[in-house]
Amino acid sequence: MIPEIGHYALILALCVAVVQGCLPIYGAAVGNSMLMSVAKPAARGQFLLVLLAFCCLGYAFADKDFSVLYVAATSNSQLPLHYRLAAIWGAHEGSLLLWMFILSIWMVAVSFFSTHLPEAMRARILGVMGLVSVGFLLFMLTVSNPFERLIPAALDGRDLNPLLQDPGMVIHPPMLYMGYVGFSVAFSFAIAALLGGTLDAAWACWSRPWTTVAWCFMTVGVAMGSGWAYYELGWGGWWFWDPVENASFMPWLAGTALMHSLAVTDKRGGFKAWSVLLAIMAFSLSLLGTFLVRSGVLTSVHAFATDPKRGLFILVFLAVVIGGSLVLYAWRAPRVGLGGGFAIISREGMLLANNVLLVAALGSVLLGTLYPLFLDALDLGKISVGPPYFDTVFLPLMTPAIFLMGIGPLAQWKKASLPALALRLRWAFAVSMATAMTLPFALGQWTPLISLGLLLAIWILTTILVDLRERLVQAEGSSLGGRLVAMPRSYWGMVLAHCGVALFIVGVTMVKGFEVEQDLRMNVGETATIGGYTFRFDGTQEVKGPNYLAARGTFHVTQDGRDVAVMYPEKRRYFVQNQTMTEAAIAPGLLRDLYVSLGEQLEGGAWSVRLYHKPFIDWIWGGCLVMALGGILAISDRRYRLAWRRKEAAVPAATQMARQIVS
Amino acid sequence: MKPRHKRFILIGLGLVALGVAAMLVLNAFQSNLVFFFTPTQVANAEVPKGRGFRIGGMVENGSLTRESDGLTVHFVVTDLAKRVPVTFKGILPDLFKEGKGVVAQGQLGADGTFLASEVLAKHDENYMPPEAAAALAKAKAAGAQSSSTLVVNPR
């Protein structure tokens, strides 16, 4: 009964979505405010219906209702409750429901935080979001229904893929989807602007916080995916340029470009048409990513059985959304205008260069990801594009972008002078050059790449310091603390996010340059030394988990005779799917991770073992977190709150609610 | 500078950036594309010399042997028509098993042994990498056409 309620709720949600997608947009076109006012209640009603459906599916999982096909396929009676609930998004159907649920969360958020927008704008935004949800609900109800019954019911479920039975897996998909789907808000703002034909600085000011929030979630989501691969796949890599990773990375790149381009639209009124195009691009890539990953086109832990009907629906849906919005763009963008002019050497110019580079990088990732799929689809042979391709292309494109990242914030809007910039930055450049050339020697090894990586990281930090100092000198106020506090939070947000990039670069550089990896055979009692750490293997013992049996190894790690850590890597065998899983042991640290994973058991209690020493690897994810924190700090800036407050007199109740949630 | 000139310069710079990007991409593409071959194609010497590629198929039952260092392994990849011996030094993935699908990347040695630098066998127990499945299907189809002597069914 419960699954049928969920199914019914989805059908009702579709009806509401159709209403939400049609009436308000039509109302906005003819200026009928009654039709426009349908948008808000429709969005909230749709949220409640999708919430109900989501809870029904959750209940079916918690209740071990194996008469639901999806539950039977992705869970098992031995699976602990939290993983049964996480299994809601463990495969295709449920993850689409999660997508839909998160879309409805964003819709409700827009309905609450949009009281300051003109009514037609809000109606169009919610209308466009309604149309997107029509597409997803139709997809679920026609070819991908999570509530489909299995008759007769299975005695027990086929279990969740053991790779996904991990705390990171519980939180990574919702985070990533918050980002993916969050770009639908930026997209809807863009389409609404195209429909309305007005696109001014106020529009950019409104859509900036939404874009930034989505970008923050996206950043954390991608970082978590990378962290999951690091500790769960058991071979210590953190990024493989796997198509699945690329699918989440491409919208992130587009979103990053969009954030920077919106800054120009907001502050200077420039880059209007470009911002709109980027918003369309970011969301299109989110859709592409969702479908690439979830449709089975790509094979990975994320992908599931292919169904040609689904593939066709997906292609048509993508064509309608991307094609439709691009046609609309081509038709309406000339009205929107290009915005004010500027010199090539100016902050706008640098942000434009940053955008071009980011989009070029995006294009190269897209090519490397889709080309093998096209060849395969056309039956021209099977190829793969490996990490070397992406490394070769990505580094030269990102290096100038990061170099400009240091200069951009110091350059004046409209027109800057190159000699003056050079003069202001000469110390930053000299310090970073000198450190980058010498520091690798101190660390024990000099290669051009290590030097370049450190140069870029230190360049970001030193230019930030220069910028900060100049601003402090110019700022009003007597005390240093007062002047620091007086600077807008959006500025601090940018500083923090850029520092995050620097931390990230340090992490990548140090790992790539100094990591030590060793695969070896170890007998019980034998020791091995890597990176100054001595690992002693003390044998394995059998350990029983809730739904698996594991061989747990014990490794004592010492450094110069001092005890550092005791590590317990495991080799697990999950009963239901009879699948072996490597569970690595990691001793994390600020400056290095130690990483041990078990290979195979050899004769006489010996094992083949992987021992890694990974300097600074946690800085990679730490840097991403700092970037996301920077984004959050930036949207807490006064000017966005002022935008909400401005309408206070007109609609006090709703604004108060908005403010409560903001503060 | 007139605005028109400025726009030209901007567009010019954009085109240069695009050109550089395209050049990098195509260059990197050419040198980093990894092609996939079936054991039959390897046996027919259709594979490039001195360049890495991937082979896929099934790990032949009973073919896995391990050297005394515990790390170097030898096994045979087959599409049930032809067999290719493979040598790999390192830790095999969790899902590597005799009688299951596998994809390996590496180079062909002088003696006809495939020296793998990477062995891929992700996914679950019943999963067959699509490349490996395609190799088996292809060999089966070719076998059915050319002769009726080969009557081995991939499961």
pLDDT in tens, A107-125: 999 999 888 888 999 999 9
Separation CA A219–CA A10 (nearest Å): 30
Contact (CB, 8 A) for A467 and A436: no
Cβ distance A344 to B95 less than 8 Å, yes or no, reads: no
- A622 assigned to some structural domain: no
pLDDT of residue B35: 86
Nearest Cα neighbor of A107 from A14, A43, A179, A25 is A43
Residues from chain A that touch B123, judged by Cβ atoms under 8 A, are: 299-301
Bridge partners (DSSP) of residue A586 are: A595
**Single residue among A593, A616, A639 that ends a domain in this structure:** A616
Separation CA A622–CA A625 (nearest Å): 5
In terms of domains, do A72 and A184 share one?
no
Amino acid of residue A176? L
In terms of domains, do A384 and A425 share one?
no
Phi, psi of A597, rounded to the nearest 5 degrees? -140, 150
This model of the complex carries an ipTM of: 0.78
The answer, for B138 touching chain A at a CB cutoff of 8 Å, is: no
Size of interface A-B (CB pairs under 8 A): 109
Query: pLDDT > 90: what percent of chain A?
Result: 59
**Single residue among A459, A490, A514 that ends a domain in this structure:** A514
pLDDT of residue B151: 32
- A283 assigned to some structural domain: yes
pLDDT of residue A244: 82
CA nearest to A522 within chain B: B70
Q: Which residue has the higher pLDDT, B96 or B148?
A: B96
Cβ distance B124 to A600 less than 8 Å, yes or no, reads: no
In terms of domains, do A363 and A435 share one?
no
pLDDT in tens, B21-47: 788 778 888 788 888 888 888 888 888
CA nearest to B66 within chain A: A602
- A570 assigned to some structural domain: yes
Separation CA A536–CA B76 (nearest Å): 35
In terms of domains, do A132 and A216 share one?
no
In terms of domains, do A330 and A367 share one?
yes
Nearest Cα neighbor of A253 from A289, A229, A226, A227 is A289
- Is the pLDDT at B67 greater than 50? The verdict is yes
pLDDT of residue B128: 57
Q: How close does chain B come to A437, measured CA to CA in Å? A: 27
**Which residues form the domain of A189?**
166-416
Nearest Cα neighbor of A322 from A365, A360, A291 is A291
pLDDT in tens, A272-289: 889 999 999 999 999 988
Output the average pLDDT for chain A: 88
Nearest Cα neighbor of A276 from A264, A286, A290, A291 is A264
pTM: 0.90
pLDDT of residue A338: 65
Burial of A143 (0-12, 13-18, 19+ CB in 10 A): middle
Cβ distance A352 to B10 less than 8 Å, yes or no, reads: yes
In terms of domains, do A450 and A492 share one?
yes
Tokens of B38: 């079936």
Pairing of strands B33-37, B53-59: parallel
Contact (CB, 8 A) for A603 and A474: no
In terms of domains, do A494 and A541 share one?
no
Cβ distance B24 to A382 less than 8 Å, yes or no, reads: no
Tokens of A429: 């450049």
Nearest Cα neighbor of A141 from A308, A11, A290 is A11
Beta-strand (E) ranges in A337-405? 383-385
Contact (CB, 8 A) for A659 and A638: no
Using DSSP, state whether B3 is helix, strand or coil.
helix
**Single residue among A380, A397, A416 that ends a domain in this structure:** A416
pLDDT of residue A295: 66
The answer, for B54 touching chain A at a CB cutoff of 8 Å, is: yes
pLDDT of residue A581: 86
Q: How close does chain B come to A248, measured CA to CA in Å? A: 20
Cβ distance A602 to B70 less than 8 Å, yes or no, reads: yes
Separation CA A540–CA A637 (nearest Å): 54
Pairing of strands B114-120, B101-108: antiparallel
Tokens of A249: 């990375």
Cβ distance B28 to A299 less than 8 Å, yes or no, reads: no
Contact (CB, 8 A) for A129 and A2: no
- A632 assigned to some structural domain: no
Output the average pLDDT for chain B: 77
pLDDT of residue B130: 62
In terms of domains, do A432 and A385 share one?
no
Nearest Cα neighbor of A229 from A218, A219, A237, A221 is A237
pLDDT of residue B91: 87
Using DSSP, state whether A510 is helix, strand or coil.
helix
- A660 assigned to some structural domain: no
- A432 assigned to some structural domain: yes
Separation CA A630–CA A578 (nearest Å): 44
Structural domain total, chain A = 4
Q: How close does chain A come to B3, measured CA to CA in Å? A: 8
In terms of domains, do A195 and A266 share one?
yes
Mean pLDDT of B112-141: 70
pLDDT in tens, A451-491: 999 999 999 999 999 999 998 888 777 788 888 888 889 99
Write out residues in chain A with pLDDT < 50, as ranges. 300-305, 647-663
Q: How far is CA A495 from the centre of its chain?
A: 20
Nearest Cα neighbor of A321 from A191, A495, A480 is A191
Cβ distance B70 to A578 less than 8 Å, yes or no, reads: no
Q: What is the CATH number of the domain that holds A544?
A: 2.60.98
- A566 assigned to some structural domain: yes
Q: How close does chain B come to A187, measured CA to CA in Å? A: 25
The answer, for B137 touching chain A at a CB cutoff of 8 Å, is: no
Helix (H) or strand (E) holding A571: strand A570-574
Nearest Cα neighbor of A154 from A88, A76, A67, A70 is A67
Pairing of strands A383-385, A607-615: unpaired
- A281 assigned to some structural domain: yes
The answer, for A578 touching chain B at a CB cutoff of 8 Å, is: yes
In terms of domains, do A602 and A587 share one?
yes
pLDDT bucket at B1, cuts 50 / 70 / 90: low
Cβ distance B28 to A386 less than 8 Å, yes or no, reads: no
Residues from chain B that touch A356, judged by Cβ atoms under 8 A, are: 14, 17-18
Burial of A659 (0-12, 13-18, 19+ CB in 10 A): middle
Phi, psi of A222, rounded to the nearest 5 degrees? -65, -40
Q: What is the CATH number of the domain that holds A77?
A: 1.20.120
In terms of domains, do A387 and A453 share one?
no
In terms of domains, do A282 and A400 share one?
yes
